[in-house]
Amino acid sequence: MQNFTEREHVTLIGVKNWLIAVLLFLLALPSVAYSQKLRVGTLYIGSTMLPLWIAREEGYFASSGFEVELIWLQSTLSTMALIAGEVDLIYGTPQETLLAMTAKSAPPLITVGSWETNSKYWLVVSPSIQSVKDLVGKTLAISRPKAADEGYARIILRRCRAARALV
Convert the pLDDT of each residue in 76-126 to its tens digit.
788 888 888 898 888 876 667 777 777 788 888 777 766 666 666 777 888
pLDDT digits (tens, 9 = 90+) for 36-76: 888 988 877 767 778 888 888 999 999 888 899 989 887 67
CATH 3.40.190 fits 1-92, yes or no: yes
pLDDT digits (tens, 9 = 90+) for 146-159: 776 777 788 888 88
- Are 73 and 41 in contact by the 8 Å Cβ rule? The answer is yes
- In a 13 Å sphere around the CA of 31, the CA atoms on its Cβ side amount to 3
Residue 33: pLDDT over 60? no
Residue 131: pLDDT over 70? yes
Closest CA to 140 of 149, 15, 43, 148: 149
Residue 9: pLDDT over 50? no
Amino acid at 140: L
In the chain, what's the furthest Cα-to-Cα distance? 63
Residue 1: pLDDT over 80? no
Q: Would the pTM count as exceeding 0.75?
A: no
